[in-house]
């Protein structure tokens, strides 16, 4: 049966997040913030309106000041209809999108000026002695327009990501619900796996479970089979499952209350794995658990890189450049690199330092597959950092 959080828990979660972001703004000396990323908007306010659409179209944004002022600009301004249940927001305005789709060429300059005037007025009203504004993402045209009006544009990502990294107890409750949704989805996928169905046939059951649990979306098409499991990160499609195929799935699931549950499992379609497949599975299992054992409060990111467990050379080449990444409403800071790949650039980034804190949730990621091999094994676990170590949040068994 689908579960939900009590309304009092949701209320505490919203205010923990908003207050933590305000605390980080004050600690990192960011007087005001302009937030466009819809996941960051949800973190600050719990407003979830058209999140996926807003990833591609700048139709909504949030202004926050270190004094607590929180004003949302949305594509609809009806506070009662869309945001009346949210006491995290002081006021809702109609947004002013600035871009070619919304303004064409003839209206662009005017739209940009009106937008910049409105944001400048907010900065001057809430922070008259410090006209700086932190941004998470913004076009260069908008940044230039603010600078021309005397507002200094600074990087606002640090307070946002530092706030999101340490979860409150109610956030952990939401993460446990997301784990249950993902567990349900994997059970369904295992149950329907058989030769003759397609990858998409199987993967659809993860989506169905997530939506039934009031989840949001899935980030990547990572239900792969047979030769498509090597190398990793090809995409789910209409490949037909054959007897003896390995099937791997990286959930990348954004579940109930917007919280991600990111685990990976590998299983076989029919029959029993051969010795080579067993060796790959054992290697990936060891890689995950040896690195998991390193986690505790106070250890630094660079210590984890230096002490991280690595594969033998024949498996190391195709493994990820990272061994840990943060997780909350999405993949998050920090990104911690593998010791054998610290000097190799990767799409994830990483290579910086910091300190593991209680309340962080991290994923331990691993892939085992030889270059040119017929298949590979993808495993991943998710843990909560506790006062004296870690607690596993993923509930679906590996075997």
pLDDT recorded at residue 78: 63
C-alpha 68, offset from chain centre: 25
pLDDT recorded at residue 347: 66
pLDDT recorded at residue 227: 98
Q: Are strands 91-94 and 377-386 parallel, antiparallel or unpaired?
A: unpaired
What digits encode the pLDDT tens for the residues 118-156? Answer: 999 999 999 999 999 999 999 999 999 999 999 999 999
Q: Is the pTM of this model over 0.85?
A: yes
Question: What percent of the residues of the chain are helix, what percent strand, and what percent coil, each to the nearest 5?
Answer: 40, 20, 40
pLDDT recorded at residue 389: 96
pLDDT recorded at residue 77: 66
CATH class of segment(s) 169-392: alpha beta
CA 382, 386, 388, 392 dihedral sign is negative
CATH class of segment(s) 7-164: alpha beta
- Asked if domains 7-164 and 169-392 share a fold, the reply is no
Q: Are strands 264-268 and 246-250 parallel, antiparallel or unpaired?
A: antiparallel
What digits encode the pLDDT tens for the residues 176-220? Answer: 999 999 999 999 999 999 999 999 999 999 999 999 999 999 999
Two tokens, residue 248: 């791997």
Please classify residue 323 by burial: count the beta carbons closer than 10 Å to its beta carbon, then call 0-12 exposed, 13-18 middle and 19+ buried: buried
C-alpha 192, offset from chain centre: 28
pLDDT recorded at residue 80: 64
For the chain, which residues make up each domain, given as ranges? 7-164, 169-392
Q: Are strands 61-65 and 70-74 parallel, antiparallel or unpaired?
A: antiparallel
Q: pLDDT under 50 in the chain at which residues?
A: none
Distance CA 336, CA 358 (A): 17
Helix axes 157-165, 7-27, angle to 10 degrees: 140
pLDDT recorded at residue 79: 59
pLDDT recorded at residue 302: 97
pLDDT recorded at residue 336: 96
């Amino acid at each position: 049966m689908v579960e939900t959080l009590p309304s009092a828990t949701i209320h505490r979660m919203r205010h923990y997040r908003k207050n933590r972001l305000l605390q980080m703004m004050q600690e990192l000396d960011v007087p005001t913030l302009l937030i466009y990323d819809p996941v960051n908007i949800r973190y600050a306010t719990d407003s979830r309106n058209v999140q996926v659409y807003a990833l591609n179209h700048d139709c909504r944004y949030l202004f926050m000041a270190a004094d607590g002022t929180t004003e949302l600009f949305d594509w609809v301004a009806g506070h009662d209809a869309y945001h009346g249940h949210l006491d995290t927001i002081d006021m809702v305005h109609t947004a002013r999108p600035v871009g070619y789709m919304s303004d064409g060429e003839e209206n662009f300059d005017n739209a940009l000026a009106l937008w910049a005037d409105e944001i400048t007025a907010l900065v001057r009203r809430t922070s008259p002695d410090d006209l700086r504004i932190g941004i998470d993402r913004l076009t260069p045209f908008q940044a230039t327009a603010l600078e021309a009006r005397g507002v200094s544009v600074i990087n606002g990502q640090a307070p946002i990501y530092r706030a999101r990294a340490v979860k409150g107890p109610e956030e952990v409750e939401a993460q446990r619900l997301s784990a249950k949704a993902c567990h349900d989805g994997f059970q369904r996928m295992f149950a329907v796996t058989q030769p003759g169905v397609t990858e998409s046939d199987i993967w659809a059951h993860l989506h169905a479970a997530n939506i039934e649990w009031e989840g949001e979306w899935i980030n990547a098409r990572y239900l792969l089979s047979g030769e498509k499991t090597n190398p990793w990160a090809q995409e789910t499609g209409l490949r037909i499952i054959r007897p003896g195929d390995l099937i791997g799935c990286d959930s990348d699931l954004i579940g109930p209350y917007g919280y991600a549950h990111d685990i990976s499992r590998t299983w076989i379609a029919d029959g029993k794995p051969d010795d080579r497949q067993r060796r790959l599975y054992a290697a990936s299992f060891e890689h995950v658990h040896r690195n998991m054992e390193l986690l505790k409060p106070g250890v630094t990111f660079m210590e984890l890189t230096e002490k991280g467990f690595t594969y033998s050379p024949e498996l190391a080449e195709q493994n990820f450049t990272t061994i840990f990444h943060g997780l909350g409403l999405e993949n998050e800071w920090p990104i911690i690199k593998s010791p054998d790949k610290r000097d190799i650039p990767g799409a994830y980034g990483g290579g910086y330092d910091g300190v593991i804190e209680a309340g962080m949730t991290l994923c331990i990621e691993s892939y085992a597959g030889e270059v040119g091999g017929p298949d590979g094994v993808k495993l991943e676990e998710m843990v909560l950092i506790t006062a004296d170590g870690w607690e596993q949040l993923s509930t679906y068994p590996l075997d």
